[in-house]
Amino acid sequence: MSSTGCAGVDTQRKNAVSCRVKPESVGSPQASLAAIIRHYLVHYQPEHEHELTRFRNQGSLEDAIGLAARAEDEQGHRYSHQRRIKSRAIAEASRVLADAHDDLQRCSSFHELWSLIGSYLTPIEGVRELYTYDTAVRLGAHLCLSPERVYLHAGTRIGAKNLGLLSRTNAHEQWLELSELPAPLRKLPASDVENLLCIYKAELARVRTTR
- pLDDT tens, 7-43? 654 434 444 455 644 545 665 555 799 999 999 999 9
Confidence check: pLDDT of 209 > 80: no
Residue count of the chain: 211
Last residue of a domain, one of 121, 143, 165: 143
Report the domain count for the chain: 2
Residues 75, 131, single domain; the answer is yes
Residues 79, 96, single domain; the answer is yes
Query: Considering the entire predicted model, what is its pTM?
Result: 0.86
Residues 94, 116, single domain; the answer is yes
Question: What is the predicted pLDDT for the residue at 8?
Answer: 58
Q: Which residues, in sequence order, are bridge partners of residue 149?
A: 177
d(CA 126, CA 119): 15
Does a structural domain hold residue 67?
yes
Does a structural domain hold residue 2?
no
Output the CA–CA distances (angstroms, integers) from residue 65 to 2, 75, 102, 183, in the order listed. 12, 17, 11, 35
For the four alpha carbons of 66, 16, 44 and 122, in that order, the dihedral sign comes to positive
Residues 84, 106, single domain; the answer is yes
Residues 113, 184, single domain; the answer is no
Residues 159, 128, single domain; the answer is no
Last residue of a domain, one of 113, 143, 173: 143
Question: What is the predicted pLDDT for the residue at 30?
Answer: 59
Residues 83, 159, single domain; the answer is no
Domain residue limits at 194 = 33-52+148-204
Does a structural domain hold residue 23?
no
Confidence check: pLDDT of 124 > 50: yes
